[in-house]
Structure 1
Amino acid sequence: MAVIVALGAFLMTLAGGWTAQRVTDRRHLVLGLAGGLMLGVVGLDLLPEALEAAGTEVFGVPAALLLFVAGFLATHVVERLLAVRQAAHGAQDGTGGGAEGGTGRGGRAPQVGLTAAAAMVGHSLMDGVALGAAFQVGGGMGVAVALAVITHDFADGFNTYTLASLYGNDRRKATAMLVADALAPVVGAASTLLFTLPEEPLGAYLGFFGGALLYLAAAEILPEAHHEHPALSTLLCTTGGVGVIWLVVGIAE
């Protein structure tokens, strides 16, 4: 049953990515919405789940929060290191860090976008594992988790394609990451037929991933959304994205 439901998540993920592709003429609105969706997923879905699953404390601080901060810092460090490396490479080639020098739009390193999209794939894989585990506990819990997974996988597909393309990756690579993200919950749900993931490692992963996602939303996507179009409509899209995730979480509860 869990695998069948995961097929719905597969379709919703592709629908989210397709939507992100089709509205390129309103790129600032797409980025504003993506930033809001990511902020909502982190604050209203991932972090509460991580705190509940990884309940241990380290020097008085929940382990999930420590990993949340670690994920934020790790993403910042990786992005800076890649940017410095690409800038140095461009200078050596005499390209000045342009597209031929290996950097994407605005001097961003495409590897960062692929890494971020890969993290979304990992998140979707865990969604599938959570879906399968919920159906093992009982039908009622399985339905509740299925509703949450299927609904917010639209946002996952939207964000996966946006993250990959934002950093200068071409459509082929962005689409490949989208397809991988769509397949991930199906693979995750099928894996629960063989084993069950312990709760604490899952919570640790969600905390770390939440920090990474928050960095990308706050430091990259939202500033980019308002860079050329500091419009009220962009801000409304961001607020609406948070509201959508809040609605999804409320319905799932």
Structure 2
Amino acid sequence: MAVMTLSPLTWIVLMCLAGTFASIIVSLLVSLAAHPRIVPVLVSYAIGAMLGAVFLDLLPHAIEHAGNVQHIMATVLAGVLFFFLLEKLVLWRHCHEHHCEAHEHRGHSHSPKASGWLILMGDVVHNFVDGILIAAAFTGSTEIGIVTALAIIAHEIPQETGDFVILLHSGFSRFKAILLNILSSIATLVGAVLAYLLLSGLESWVPSMLALAAASLLYVSVADLIPGLHKRPELKATGLQIGMILLGVLSIQVVQILIGE
């Protein structure tokens, strides 16, 4: 068929744009469905989706590509410490330019938007790596490239949903959260095109970038989001939180099963 005669670069661009389009649709659907009272419940789902992405997707792939577990774990550790220092810098700037609640109310140890910006940074790195993987697949064959790209797009849906919820929870407006989600998804196209042109130079960086993306999700979910769940210690709320976290993890696992990973 004529469609299969498209150049690899054309296919790469088309599949990356399809991923961006999917991100827009997911953001719009979540925006329409996310009532302010539902957002705290969806945060638990987002935590599960992020932890599932870290331990079921990012780290296994990083180790597989690197072949050196110690290097990957050291990179994750360095990444967690880096994001800790980065959030400290955000807090320092916030407390010097605005009325700082962190020093007046115990239990409010960080600016809500800090976790949102950290999620965006990690999402950009993750999407950039996805672009590299898509480009690498298309250098093998068009069929492998299409299957790989579709698998990556499908795998991103639950995580993009979680990221969007975190942006809403962090205080971003719906419009700004959608816009930032779309902009972060463009990193896939950037990574793919650069990888296609300079694949041999970028491919060796994939494991480290996957590990850094995992570190960002791990830090935000464990350091920023999970402590907030403890503000609702009652049994009913705790049960709902655990159920939504497990649902988030399960959604990552189901997608992996469906795409045959």
User: Which TM-score bucket, shorter chain as reference?
Assistant: 0.7 to 0.9
Unaligned runs of 5+ in 2: 1-10, 103-107
CA contact (8 A) 2:136 2:196 kept: no
Change beyond 3 A, Cα 1:186–1:9: same
> What's the TM-score once normalised by structure 1's chain length?
0.81
Helix, strand or coil for the counterpart of 2:149?
A: helix
Change beyond 3 A, Cα 1:107–1:210: closer
Tell me which residue corresponds to 2:4. none
Of 190, 194, 197 in structure 2, the residue corresponding to residue 194 of structure 1 is 197
Amino acid at match of 2:249: V
CA contact (8 A) 1:51 1:62 kept: no
Q: Give me the identity figure in percent.
A: 26
What is the Cα-based RMSD across aligned positions, in Å?
2.6
* 1:8 correspondence with 2:12: no
CA contact (8 A) 1:51 1:203 kept: yes
Tell me which residue corresponds to 2:247. 240
CA distance in 2, matches of 1:222, 1:76: 15
Q: Counterparts in 2 of 1:72-87, with a 5 A limit?
A: 72-87=80-95
Q: Counterparts in 2 of 1:51-200, with a 5 A limit?
A: 51-56=63-68, 62-90=70-98, 95-97=99-101, 107-108=110-111, 110-196=113-199, 197-200=201-204
CA contact (8 A) 2:195 2:203 kept: no
CA distance in 1, matches of 2:241, 2:25: 22
Helix, strand or coil for the counterpart of 2:198?
A: coil
Change beyond 3 A, Cα 1:131–1:87: same
Change beyond 3 A, Cα 1:131–1:26: same
Helix, strand or coil for the counterpart of 2:171?
A: coil
Unaligned runs of 5+ in 1: 99-104
CA distance in 2, matches of 1:111, 1:244: 26
* 1:206 correspondence with 2:210: yes
Select between 122-131 and 40-49 the one with higher mean Cα deviation: 122-131
Select between 149-158 and 184-193 the one with higher mean Cα deviation: 184-193
Shift >4 Å, 4+ stretches: none
Of 45, 60, 75 in structure 1, the residue corresponding to residue 57 of structure 2 is 45
Instruction: Give aligned pairs, total.
Output: 239
Change beyond 3 A, Cα 1:225–1:151: farther
> Offset of 1:71 from its aligned partner?
1.1
**Which whole-Å deviations, capped at 9, do the CAs of 1:134-190 have from their partners, x for residues lacking one?**
121234532442232111221342233233333333334322211112323233333
Helix, strand or coil for the counterpart of 1:227?
A: coil
* 1:34 correspondence with 2:42: no
CA distance in 1, matches of 2:173, 2:142: 42
Amino acid at match of 2:76: F
**Which whole-Å deviations, capped at 9, do the CAs of 1:63-85 have from their partners, x for residues lacking one?**
11100111112212222343244
Amino acid at match of 2:207: G
> What's the TM-score once normalised by structure 2's chain length?
0.79
Amino acid at match of 1:76: F
CA contact (8 A) 2:122 2:212 kept: no
Tell me which residue corresponds to 2:5. none
> Offset of 1:51 from its aligned partner?
1.0
